[in-house]
Structure formats: structure tokens, C-alpha cells
Amino acid sequence: MKFFIDTADVKEIKELAATGMVDGVTTNPSLAAKSGKKFLDLVREICAVVPGPVSAEVTATDFDTMMKEAAVLRKIAANVTIKVPLTPDGLKACKTLSGEGVMVNVTLCFSPAQALLAAKAGASFISPFVGRLDDVGTDGMALIRDICTIYKNYAFKTEVLVASIRHPMHVVEAAKIGAHVSTMPPSTLRQLFNHPLTDKGLKAFLDDWAKTGQSIL
Ligand code: G3P
């Protein structure tokens, strides 16, 4: 499973990229706004840190303007992935851009039917939002299961990019299903490293080692 981080915080991206665990980055207009930076500068900066796919979302809602925005964004770096909303115009833009060899991430997916449309439009990634579905009392992970089954049935190449992840078990469940990518907030990626028994065990090893008075170096 590939790990993307869902943030526009360049400091966090740099720190986590250094762990070797970051395969890509996803941003959205809300995260970009939070960064306080100029969007095009921000995307350029992130693309220079992470060589994998970096999702930059269009903010227009009509096809023509989406295509104009995509033309600007795709010029920034070769690893820019154009993110479009799951609307008729977004899918039309997806079809056109993917036909031109551009990576496209279709976002705001909340149903298997929508995911089927995105795959037919040639999306590189479909982003189903598990956390937001859980928030409204439905089973977000059931959507991941359904999409993975449908894509497998027809050997679609679109990768399932599990989004709106809120905690480590979302990542584990998505991996058990076989989803291709999890995009998660930096805090969740950090949590994946942690286990209290690891900390306890390491402390005991180091305490015992200290008693020997030895040093490897
Ligand atoms: O970037 C899309 C998605 O991951 C947003 O997550 O936590 O705002 O629902 P969240």
C-alpha cells in the first residue's frame, strides 16, 4: 500500500518525507487555504520535496475553466496530479486530461456508482472519503470494499485512494481490503509508528544494556 499525506503544511511534508514512508501528497482547497501560501507556489514547493504524485485541485466548477486551471497546474511539475470533483464537468475534465496522459485524482466520492464513473473516465485515482461517511453514521469502509470489488471485476486501472482517514485503523482496514493508497493527516502517519509495548520493550533493553557498562562504538 502506498502512503500519501493529506496536508499542505510543507514543514510536516519535509519531516515525514525524511522517514521514507511518503509516496505522495494530497491537498485540497481547504488545506491550501490553511497554509496561507499562494497556491501555485505551494504546489511547486511540495512537488520539489516529494517526487511521487502531488494532487492539486481545480477550483472551477465548469469544464472550460477547469481545463484552463489544469493547464496552469500541470505546468508546475511532472508529478502534479490534477484533482477534480466528482461532478459531470469534473468527470468530463478527467476524461479529457487522462486522454492527454495527465494523472487525475477524482475527489469527493461517496458511492460505488460514482467510483464506477470515475474509472470509466480514466481516473488515475478515485478518492472515497471514509471519515466523512463514518461521521454521518454510515460505514465508510464498506464503500472501499465495494469499489475494490467493482474495479477488480473489470480490471480497471484506477487506484483506490482512501481519503478522509481519521485514525490508524482506517489505514489497517483499507490495507486488509487491498486498497492501493491511503492518504492521511500527518498525525495519523506518526501514530502508525507507535505501540506502547515497543516503548516499554525498548526501555527494558536499554536499561539492561546500561547495566553492562559496555558500548558498541
Ligand atoms: O483531501 C480529502 C480528504 O482527505 C479530506 O479529509 O478529514 O477533511 O474529511 P477530511
| Predicted confidence band of residue 190 (pLDDT cuts 50, 70, 90) | very high
Q: Who contacts 193 (Cβ-Cβ below 8 Å, separation ≥6)?
A: none
Give residue 44's pLDDT: 98
Regarding the beta carbon of 164 and ligand 1, being less than 6 Å apart is answered yes
Mean pLDDT for 154-182 is 98
Show the beta-strand stretches assigned E in 24-176: 24-26, 54-57, 80-85, 104-109, 125-128, 159-162
Q: What is the Cα–Cα distance from 78 to 143, expressed in whole angstroms? A: 31
Concerning whether 75 is annotated as a catalytic residue, the answer is no
Give residue 93's pLDDT: 98
Grid look-up 465548469 returns 62
Give residue 34's pLDDT: 96
| Predicted confidence band of residue 2 (pLDDT cuts 50, 70, 90) | very high
Our mutation pick for probing the ligand 1 site, out of 6, 83, 109, 143, counting the most ligand atoms within 8 A of Cβ, is 6
Regarding the beta carbon of 6 and ligand 1, being less than 6 Å apart is answered yes
Regarding the beta carbon of 29 and ligand 1, being less than 6 Å apart is answered no
Mean pLDDT for 147-169 is 98
Percent of the chain with pLDDT strictly greater than 70: 100
Give residue 53's pLDDT: 98
CATH of domain 2-212: 3.20.20.70
Give residue 47's pLDDT: 98
Our mutation pick for probing the ligand 1 site, out of 106, 129, 161, counting the most ligand atoms within 8 A of Cβ, is 129
65: cell is 475553466
Distances from the Cα of 95 to the Cαs of 26, 111, 124, 162, in angstroms?
20, 19, 10, 21
Average pLDDT along the chain: 98
| Predicted confidence band of residue 157 (pLDDT cuts 50, 70, 90) | very high
Catalytic residue of the set 34, 83, 95, 211: 83
